[in-house]
Amino acid sequence: MDKPEGRFEGKVVMITGAGSGIGAGCASRFLSEGARVAIIDREEDGLAQLTSGFPADRVYAVSGDCTDESVVTGFHQSATEKFRAVDILINNVGQSARERASEFHESQEDVWRFVLEVSLLATMRLSRLVVPQMRERGGRILNMSSDAAFAGDAGLVDYATAKMGIIGFTRSLARELAPFGVTVNAVAPGAIRTRAHDRVPAAVIDRIRQQTPVGFVGEPSDVAAAICFLASDEARFITGQTLLVDGGRWMI
């Protein structure tokens, strides 16, 4: 896939959950297009692998848990001190209950709370940190939803709830920030080939794959391409929207 050279030259991009999968794919794509990138994830090995090919003035990595408010606040402060204010925020971190997934009547409230915390509240938390400076300078916020929010997959009630919350958050924040030159959009991936698939019940993944019209599972690069478009100047007239990147499983 051809990539515009230097499209994000001089831009500062912040990405959560960037140690592997979609987050790592987004980080690699932005770095290849000239951005300076600050990333956070609990996976130290993944962060080290991602940053090894770039100089320290291009990428900044922190190992930490995005559900910990103090960690997120510290990451934002140190990243902006190193690079300056954030131009583009990618709220990628989030996950389903994975191996703890179950039908709703058998689910546990502590699992709901975890899924909501990592998939919705973490997005709100970091957005609040970048918004004051974006109101002064403009910017882009991209939030990671999921086509599970639209399809309502059985066994993923908590995850679908959190990811639909992302869409409501995106729309309301887009209205607040539009007058300040800030766009806020969401991307809703379908079945994407990541290690997280190995921890979701096989029956759920198989059902999603069978429902995907294009007939194959996507790659993190497919989502990264959509994210970069929405983060670019080409998407300046797009805000409050949700772009499904799911091979046609859900069409709106």
Q: How far is CA 17 from CA 2, 94, 123, in A?
A: 25, 7, 11
Mean pLDDT (the chain, rounded): 92
pLDDT by residue (tens digit) across 44-84? 999 999 999 899 999 999 999 999 999 999 999 999 999 99
Instruction: Pull the structure tokens for residue 211.
Output: 């429902």
C-beta of residue 212 within 8 angstroms of C-beta of residue 169: no
108-119: per-residue pLDDT in tens? 888 899 999 999
Catalytic residues: 159
Judge whether 181 and 223 are in contact, CB under 8 Å: no
Give the separation between CA 87 and CA 203, rounded to whole angstroms.
Answer: 40
Helix (H, G, I), strand (E, B) or coil at 28: helix
The model scores a pTM over 0.85: yes
Angle ∠(29,232,150) on CA atoms, nearest 5 = 80
The percent of residues in the chain predicted with pLDDT above 70, rounded, is: 95
The span from the CA of 227 to the CA of 144, in Å, is 9
Rounded Cα distance, 174 and 182, in Å = 8
Structure confidence by residue, pLDDT tens digits, 187-232: 999 988 887 666 667 777 778 788 889 988 899 999 999 999 999 9
Please, what is the Cα angle at 148 between 245 and 237, to 5 degrees? 45
Asked if residues 96 and 192 have their Cβ atoms less than 8 Å apart, the reply is: no
What CATH architecture does domain 12-245 belong to?
A: 3-Layer(aba) Sandwich (3.40)
Domain boundaries defined on the chain: 12-245
Residue with tokens 């699992």: 111
3-class SS of residue 153 = coil
